[in-house]
Amino acid sequence: MKHALRYLPALLIALSSLPAAAQQPAGLPQVPRSRAEIGLTFAPVVSRVAPAIVNVYALKVEPRSNPMLDDPFFRRFFGDRGGPDVPDAEGPSERIQRSLGSGVLVDPTGVVVTNNHVIDGADEIRIALADKREYDAKVVLRDPRTDIAILRLENAKGSFPSAVLGSSDDLEVGDIVLAIGNPFGVGQTVTQGIVSALARTQRGITDYGFFIQTDAAINPGNSGGALVDGAGRVVGINTAIFSRSGGSQGIGFAIPADMVRVVLQSALNGSKVVRRPWLGADLQAVTADIADGLDLARPTGALVQNVVPDSPAEKAGLRSGDLIVAVAGQEVDDPDAFGFRFATRPLGGQVELGIVRQGKEMKLAVALQAAPESVPREEITLEGRSPLAGATVVNLSPAVIDEMRTVDATKGVVITAVAEDSPAQRTSFKPGDVIVEINGIPIAKTADLQNLMRTPQRAWRVTLQRGGRVVTALLPG
3 given a catalytic annotation: no
User: Which is the catalytic residue, given 99, 102, 107, 117?
Assistant: 117
Instruction: Please report which residue ranges of 256-409 form alpha helices under DSSP H.
Output: 257-268, 288-293, 312-316, 335-343, 398-404
Nearest to 369 by CA among 323, 312, 321, 429: 312
User: Which is the catalytic residue, given 147, 215, 258, 322?
Assistant: 147
At 424, the amino acid letter reads: A
Q: How far is CA 433 from CA 337, 392, 415, 457, 465, in A?
A: 26, 11, 5, 21, 6
At 74, the amino acid letter reads: F
Instruction: Please report which residue ranges of 330-397 form alpha helices under DSSP H.
Output: 335-343
- Compute the distance between CA of residue 357 and CA of residue 311 in angstroms, rounded to an integer: 19
Asked if 302 contacts 332 with a C-beta cutoff of 8 angstroms, the reply is yes
117 given a catalytic annotation: yes
Question: Please, which residues have CB within 8 angstroms of residue 136's CB and are 6 or more apart in sequence?
Answer: 124, 125, 126, 127, 153, 154, 155
CA 145 to chain centre: 5
At 244, the amino acid letter reads: R
Element (H, E) at 177: strand 176-181
374 given a catalytic annotation: no
User: Which is the catalytic residue, given 102, 196, 223, 422?
Assistant: 223
Asked if 179 contacts 216 with a C-beta cutoff of 8 angstroms, the reply is yes
HSE, CB side, 13 Å, CA atoms: give it for residue 151: 32
- What are the backbone angles phi and psi of residue 74, rounded to the nearest 5°? -70, -30
- Compute the distance between CA of residue 205 and CA of residue 196 in angstroms, rounded to an integer: 18
3-state secondary structure of 470: strand
Report, as residue numbers or ranges, the catalytic residues. Answer: 117, 147, 223
